[in-house]
Amino acid sequence: MNFKINESATKLRGGYYTPEDVARYLAKWVLGIKPRTILEPSCGDGAFIRALKGQHRFRLSFTGVELLNEEARKSRKACKENDLIDGEIVAGDFLDWGLKSIEEGTQFSAILGNPPYIRYQYLAPQDQILSEELFVKFCLAFTKHTNAWVPFVIASVAMLEAGGRLGMVVPAEILHVLHATSLRKFLLTQCSKIVIVDPNELLFDEALQGTVLLMVEKKKKPASASQGVAVLTGSKEDLLCEEPEELFNNAKPVSGDMLNGKWMKVLLTPRELEVFESAKHKKGVRLFRDVASVDVGIVTGANKFFLVNDETVKEYGLKRYAKPMFGRSGHCPGVIYDREGHTNKNEGGTASNFVMIGNVPMEELPEKVQDYIKFGEEQNLHKRYKCRIRSPWYSVPSVYSTEVAMLKRAHNYPRLILNSARAYTTDTAYRIKTVDPSIQPESLVYGFVNSLTALTGELEGRHYGGGVLEMVPSEIEKMLVPIVNISESDLRRLDLLVRSNEAADDVLRAQDKIVLKAAGFTKEEAAILHEAWRRIRSRRLREVHQEKGDSISDE
């Protein structure tokens, strides 16, 4: 877990400034409507004020807000250096200023910016309250998982005049994070057209966070329908050399049901989308939730105490209590976790024994085991929240294993693991049970490795800086899985293939030939699904030019 105290001052105020070419591009686009007034909600040292210079011949009134006095001063100086700008820079909190301005009915013809990226827990208590107030004001569902940039964009859009333009640098996660669902809905109700420019390269060297350019035009009539959302991808150089006016006007938006929830499907080409949508109706393809249930793994509350290597088992006489357990892909590099694999792993000193003492009073336990518990208490592990709410603290609840498991995180593609060893899993993995008696666990594990399922993982899952794909149960339930009949040797062969150094692309292509063919896809359709998966996976790993993802193993 990250703590506020460990974060740099720059990160805590979201102080990553916009590169000149990007700021000039967005400025040029909003200037296309000859705005009388421009707002910059968090103007920093004035990147967007400088970006306006030389791009307009008319007077405009510029209002900037910036939390830091020092940076606000730099913005004032930037205003003075542009004779055509009447500038007002407010040194203060935008959420506070914004809510009051919305109340007073203040509006702007255009808005530019790059709002701070600060997680809710790191916000000043006042900003936490103001963020929630803003959501409530516009009847939007609020969550404490929000991040400062979300209320900044909501307030900005609210202050935009009818027909006005907003050009902002925002995190690429706008397309998929759950906490931006309200914002996505708000944009669709308020804007006539939404264009997201999604360059292959990272825009900021300093931040791991992928960013996109958000270009929206506010509806002229509130009741009119939105044209929807377009996402433009390509190299930054190619995208920014196009005239912003043309880029925006030529972008073809998609609308309708596809925009409910996440917007990841907008990244698919029309043909990819057609094949993807038809997949649900193929005879052999099932929705994950119709064939299996997903439950979180075992929450020990202190993995370093409950998950130990053979040496610790020996030292504290824990053999009776040691049960096989896994939770990292290094523990199970293939699709089968069996006794043999478990034993080999332990010989390497891996901590894969779960100390399952159970609800036995301390005094009834052997002395060495008591010593081990005391050793845990010396480290205050019994005071940790998850441990202290149970009695005795070393008795872990909800201990059961399932025949199939799935790691929460993956680099290339998610995979299921046949748990032949009936090992327990930590909360870094899910416990999966087939709910359709006609489907063998082996078939589910086998059918899960293919380009269609991997693509649904990319479209439904989430990822953060660093690119690791993470899936929660409700997202896994929406995945599509072709179900095929297989023999035991088929699964063994797949296990070896996944364990081998074979590139992820080749593993999926080999599986597509069997799994997607059996599910009724043509070769052309399989190739289309594969290419769509490859592109979106590459986007997540931001490696289009480097093509190094295949050498990255799962976490």
Ligand X SMILES: C[S@@+](CC[C@H](N)C(=O)[O-])C[C@H]1O[C@@H](n2cnc3c(N)ncnc32)[C@H](O)[C@@H]1O
- The residue type found at 312 is T
Q: Three-class SS of residue 162?
A: strand
Select from 108-116, 183-191, 440-448, 504-512 the region that touches ligand X (CB under 6 A): 108-116
CA gap 542, 555 in Å, rounded: 17
Select from 111-119, 284-292, 401-409, 482-490 the region that touches ligand X (CB under 6 A): 111-119
CA gap 511, 523 in Å, rounded: 12
- Min dist. Cβ of residue 48 to ligand X (A): 6
Q: Which CB sits closer to ligand X, 92 or 348? A: 92
Q: Which CB sits closer to ligand X, 69 or 224? A: 69
Q: Binding to ligand X by residue 67, rule CB under 6 A?
A: yes
Q: Three-class SS of residue 323?
A: strand
Q: Which CB sits closer to ligand X, 63 or 114? A: 114
Q: Which CB sits closer to ligand X, 71 or 198? A: 71
- Which of 65, 140, 172, 279 is close enough to bind ligand X by CB under 6 A? 65
- Which of 43, 60, 78, 429 is close enough to bind ligand X by CB under 6 A? 43
DSSP 209: S
Cα distance from N-terminal residue to C-terminal residue, the chain: 17
Which residue, 216, 149, 137, is CA-closest to 179? 149
**Residue burial 94-111, b: 16+ Cβ < 10 Å; e: rest:** bbbbbbebbeeeebbbbb
Q: Which CB sits closer to ligand X, 47 or 423? A: 47
Pairing of strands 108-113, 37-40: parallel
Question: CA separation (Å) from 173 to 179, 213, 275?
Answer: 10, 12, 25
CA gap 532, 545 in Å, rounded: 17
Q: Which CB sits closer to ligand X, 160 or 481? A: 160
Which residue, 301, 304, 297, 299, is CA-closest to 372? 304
Per-residue tokens: 336: 């089968």
Q: Which CB sits closer to ligand X, 47 or 322? A: 47
The HSE-up count of residue 488 (CA atoms within 13 Å, CB side) is 1
- Min dist. Cβ of residue 78 to ligand X (A): 11
Q: Binding to ligand X by residue 95, rule CB under 6 A?
A: yes
Q: Binding to ligand X by residue 42, rule CB under 6 A?
A: yes
Q: Binding to ligand X by residue 68, rule CB under 6 A?
A: yes
Which residue, 296, 329, 335, is CA-closest to 430? 296
- Which of 25, 62, 94, 393 is close enough to bind ligand X by CB under 6 A? 94
Per-residue tokens: 186: 């708000």
Q: Which CB sits closer to ligand X, 72 or 268? A: 72
- Min dist. Cβ of residue 463 to ligand X (A): 21
Site for ligand X in 183-242 (CB under 6 A): none
- Which of 66, 310, 338, 525 is close enough to bind ligand X by CB under 6 A? 66
- Min dist. Cβ of residue 217 to ligand X (A): 21
Per-residue tokens: 155: 């307030």
- Which of 127, 217, 475, 550 is close enough to bind ligand X by CB under 6 A? 127
Question: CA separation (Å) from 112 to 248, 305, 504?
Answer: 16, 51, 41
Q: Which CB sits closer to ligand X, 67 or 332? A: 67
- Min dist. Cβ of residue 19 to ligand X (A): 9
CB–CB of 296/473 below 8 Å? yes
- Min dist. Cβ of residue 158 to ligand X (A): 16
Which residue, 270, 262, 243, is CA-closest to 188? 262
Question: In sequence order, what are the beta bridge partners of 254?
Answer: 229
Q: Which CB sits closer to ligand X, 104 or 378? A: 104
Q: Binding to ligand X by residue 47, rule CB under 6 A?
A: yes
CA gap 198, 22 in Å, rounded: 12
Q: Which CB sits closer to ligand X, 11 or 534? A: 11
- Min dist. Cβ of residue 111 to ligand X (A): 11
Please give the full DSSP string across 367-416, using - where no structure is assigned.
HHHHHHHHHHHHTTGGGSHHHHTSSSTT--SS----SEEEESEESS---E
Q: For the window 5-34, what string marks contact with ligand X as x by the rule CB under 6 A?
A: --------xxxxxx----------------
Q: Binding to ligand X by residue 114, rule CB under 6 A?
A: yes
Give the CB-nearest residue to ligand X.
44
- Which of 32, 93, 282, 289 is close enough to bind ligand X by CB under 6 A? 93
Q: Which CB sits closer to ligand X, 171 or 447? A: 171
With tokens 């400034």, the residue in question is 17
- Min dist. Cβ of residue 71 to ligand X (A): 5
Rounded to 5°, the CA angle 83-84-89 comes to 85
- Min dist. Cβ of residue 12 to ligand X (A): 9
In the complex, which residues of this chain contact ligand X (CB under 6 A)?
A: 13-18, 42-44, 47-48, 65-68, 71, 93-95, 113-114, 116, 127
